[in-house]
Amino acid sequence: MTRCGGLMVHFILLSLLAYAVVKGEDSSAAANKASPSLGRHHVVVLHNSDTITAEQVLGVFAQFGIKEAQAMQLVHKVNDEGSAVVVMGPLETCNAIGAMFEKIDMHVTVRELQPSDTASRSEFSGSEVETLDEATFQSKVMRAGQPTLVMFFAPWCGHCKQLVPEYKKVAIKLRNSGVHVAAVNCDQAPSVARQLGVQGYPTIKFMFDGRATDYSGPRSAIALASFAQGQARLQGAKATFVRAFGGVRTAMSRVLGGDRATQMHQT
């Protein structure tokens, strides 16, 4: 925990709660497990403002000892989502920290902690991109046979954050194309990254029938959607050919088998 002027900021508690939820515990149960007095905890919610600079917000975080790298993650979250919980603690602590942000004219809300505050939220929440874990990746991508464009990412990766808005647009463009658009957080699903040989982020692959095709083109919605549609047509044609060839081969084997049987009968 970080102390500043007698204030105690509960970033560690917030991390423990989020980690418990990722591991599959119910959010309220995880919260109670982390702190028996959770009902007395409050949160500070920062709201995005066009008139406040990132440097001003970072300056406030620096006053109570939060490193810039950690603070920037919270700044990005506020900017991307419009508002975000940044501090958890007793009411007196949250009011004092809220006042520090209000000094730079930032809109702040201090309220009681809610179970949803500790829930794990995907970068793609609210979009048409489906976030897959290890189990759903195997069932929906590797075994289902549905053509799928997959982005493998890490939440700390700056290039991944830059790609998120474009990737959301890809899902909209491919909405009625028959191509599923998904994303895998490799920090939470490391076995998937190993299985597919993912070594850098973001990595984008087109998946069909358990086979992967790497994408290495421009990271724009138009280029990605075009790639996915082209691969879907190509893989669909291959599958049609394989089925047709398999049918011809089966028919030929029956004919040849019948000829042999006739010859044996005649002899």
Residue with tokens 């973001």: 202
When computed from its CA atoms, the radius of gyration of the chain, rounded to whole angstroms, is 26
Q: CB under 8 Å to 57, separation ≥6 — which residues?
A: 46, 71, 75, 78, 101, 104, 106
Q: What's the mean per-residue pLDDT of the chain?
A: 78
Q: Is the pLDDT of residue 32 over 90?
A: no
CB neighbours (10 Å) of residue 253? 10
Backbone angles phi, psi at 36, to 5 degrees: -65, -25
> How far is CA 157 from each of CA 57, 84, 152, 164, rounded to the nearest angstrom?
21, 19, 11, 11
What gap in Å lies between CA 42 and CA 8, rounded to an integer? 13
120-154 pLDDT, tens per residue?
567 898 899 999 999 999 999 998 888 999 999 98
161-186 pLDDT, tens per residue?
899 999 999 999 999 999 999 999 99
pLDDT at 55: 92
* Residue with more model confidence, 63 or 258: 63
Helix axes 68-81, 54-63, angle to 10 degrees: 130
Judged by DSSP in three states, 192 sits in helix
> How far is CA 232 from each of CA 19, 37, 148, 190, 206, rounded to the nearest angstrom?
37, 53, 9, 27, 8
CB neighbours (10 Å) of residue 29? 12
Q: Is the pLDDT of residue 81 over 50?
A: yes
pLDDT at 123: 84
What gap in Å lies between CA 184 and CA 130, rounded to an integer? 9
Whether residue 227 contacts residue 233, with contact meaning beta carbons closer than 8 Å, is answered with no
> Residue 117 is which amino acid?
D
Q: Is the pLDDT of residue 18 over 90?
A: no
Residue with tokens 């515990």: 25
* Residue with more model confidence, 7 or 81: 81
This prediction's pTM: 0.53
